[in-house]
Amino acid sequence: MTRLSVNINKIATLRNSRGGNNPNLVSAALACERFGAQGITVHPRPDERHIRYQDVFDLKAEIQTELNIEGNCQEQKFIDLVLANKPAQVTLVPDVEGQLTSNHGWDTIKNKTYLQDMCKLFKDAGIRVSIFVDPVEEMVEAAAETGTDRIELYTEGFASEYGFDKELAIKPYFKAAVKAREVGLGLNAGHDLDLNNLQYFNQHIPELLEVSIGHALISDALYLGLEETVKRYLACLK
């Protein structure tokens, strides 16, 4: 079964909108675990507009499942945060300052040497590394040369095209997954996966290890409740 890691950034956004600590981020993460999620994902950004750096320390001390910290490893503060907390996994994302949300993967050919250094740094600390990539076979193949353990396929393209032609939408992701298997990389995926498209994606992508889902899942929880929502996402992954 593909593992579900719940991205709790949006819960932090709601908390921050009023100050204080309601909703409580740690309590929400523990509830996700209790309802069956196999991981918690956070993506801190320099302006701390959702996840605060202190949140990562608080979560690491309490959660029992895997902690996945996503972010821009070109920021020294992010590197220091990851090394201080030693999560199960760090996902390297090529964000730029002020970026609203992640919108592209690494050019693993152009940035190979840099990514090699980053992968070594985190792996030497005992942290599993995943690199955010677009569904392009050449980028997947080059990712294997960085020393990363996994890649995370950026799935906005699939989600955008799913309603028009799902077979065409899944095609580059299937090819990228096959290439990942050929070059010995573990496979994660995330971005705009939801209750409408997740089951199809999971059924057609070989050896998918983990999906990280935040915005859609937290939005669905407003209507369905968090427990029911987590259970429905898990059902899509069976």
Report DSSP letters for 70-127, one per residue.
Answer: EE-TTSHHHHHHHHHH--SEEEE----TT-SS------TTTTHHHHHHHHHHHHHTT-
Spatial separation of the C-alpha atoms in residues 207 and 221, rounded to whole Å: 28
- Reply yes or no on whether 50 is catalytic: no
Record the tokens describing residue 92, joined without a space.
């390297």
**Encoding tokens for residue 236?**
């899509």
User: Which amino acid is it at 82?
Assistant: V
Question: What's the distance, CA 2 to chain centroid?
Answer: 13
Q: Is 70 a catalytic residue?
A: yes
- The residue annotated as part of the active site, out of 43, 50, 152, 210, is 43
CA distances from 51 to 91, 99, 133, 141 (A): 15, 14, 23, 32
**Annotated catalytic residue: which of 33, 50, 152, 191?**
191
What's the DSSP call for residue 165? -
Q: Report the C-alpha gap between 234 and 238 in whole angstroms.
A: 7
Cis peptide before 23 (omega within 30 of 0): yes
Catalytically annotated residue among 33, 50, 70, 210 = 70
Between the two ends of the chain, the Cα-to-Cα distance in Å is 5
The answer to whether residue 104 is catalytic is no
The answer to whether 112 and 120 are in contact (CB under 8 A) is no
Range 9-35 burial, b when 16+ CB lie within 10 A, else e? bbbbeebeeeeeeeeebbebbbbbbeb
Catalytic residues: 43, 70, 191
